[in-house]
Structure 1
């Protein structure tokens, strides 16, 4: 259930019987020929589909994350670490005030992972709450499915090319890109990184059949749903 389909009174009533909610977080950044909002689109969609049968409220995705490595690509928006942590903390405080005590953060962007230590600190100050960080695309079952289909999978490659992240009129190349030198791109600024990345794909083909993508998606939804349902104690 999307939180925009509820009013405050319904939320107040619901948390008395079920204190779970889902908060998707993403990023607006280069994804080669795919939507700049790929991480945001996928995090929110997988959260909504996973939570739907359970009736658990899903908040709108926090669209912006930490993407400083892609700052040289037009359209990328990046928050500073201290800004991002403050935003996440304020959001958690708001959810807690509203009565939510079991919060699943569904993350769609690897660059947001530094939020993990903040969650530990926050739970020390809110001992009646549990927060889980779920990187949906690299959770065990989902990543195993990706590897089963094609182990050459990475940022902006086929593994993020779903029907809902493609852009009308944007041509997608039909070749397999060689793996980038991760060490070399990791030790330079965003502008030199852009020169080394080219269009933005890290390695692998740019697109695979929809049957492959939907098979991965189904696993991702089911694995996310299991996180909502289980493992809170």
Structure 2
């Protein structure tokens, strides 16, 4: 249940019987021909669909993350790591203060990974709470399904091209892009990254069938839901 569809009285009533909450983490960054909000769209949708059978509140997605490497692409927004970690801590402090004790972050962006360390540090001072940090796209079963369909998958490639991340009237290239040399790319700043990547796809096909994408999605929902159910 989206927290935006609840009022505070309903949340207070919920907290009398359950203390779980789900918080999606996304990013606003280039994804080639897909939406700049791919990571946010997917993280929030996974969170909502996974939590739905349990009636657990899902908070609005945190739509800005750590993505300095794409700052040469217009529309990208990046937070400093220090800012982001303080933001995560403030979210946890707020949820704790109002009664939540089991919090699942459903993360959709690799650059946000420092937040996992922040969660562990936060629990050192809040021993009555449990926090999980779940990278939904590379969780074991989901990643296994991706590789089963096509092992050449990466940022802004087919593996992020779902019906709900595509833009209307925007055609996808119909070829497989060679994988970029990631180690070399990581030695460059934003302008160099853009020069190396071009359209932004790290490598792989740009789109696969909706049937294949729905198969991946089903695994991702089940894997995320299992985390909630077995808390």
TM-score between both structures, scaled by the size of structure 2: 0.99
CA positional deviation for 1:98? 1.2
- CA distance in structure 2 between the partners assigned to 1:101 and 1:15 by the alignment: 10
- Deviation per residue, 1:188-233 (Å, 9 max, x gap): 1011110000101111100000000000001001111111111x3x
CA positional deviation for 1:15? 1.2
1:189 corresponding residue in structure 2: 189
Unaligned runs of 5+ in 1: none
Paired residue secondary structure (1:156)? coil
- CA distance in structure 2 between the partners assigned to 1:53 and 1:120 by the alignment: 28
CA positional deviation for 1:183? 1.1
- Write the mapping of 1:114-129 to structure 2, written as runs, cut at 5 A: 114-129=114-129
2:61 corresponding residue in structure 1: 61
- Deviation per residue, 1:107-156 (Å, 9 max, x gap): 00000001111111100111000000000000000000000000000000
- CA distance in structure 2 between the partners assigned to 1:72 and 1:169 by the alignment: 25
- Write the mapping of 1:29-178 to structure 2, written as runs, cut at 5 A: 29-178=29-178
1:227 corresponding residue in structure 2: 227
The alignment's C-alpha RMSD in Å is 0.6
Q: What is the aligned length?
A: 231
- CA distance in structure 1 between the partners assigned to 2:67 and 2:178 by the alignment: 23
- CA distance in structure 2 between the partners assigned to 1:98 and 1:174 by the alignment: 50
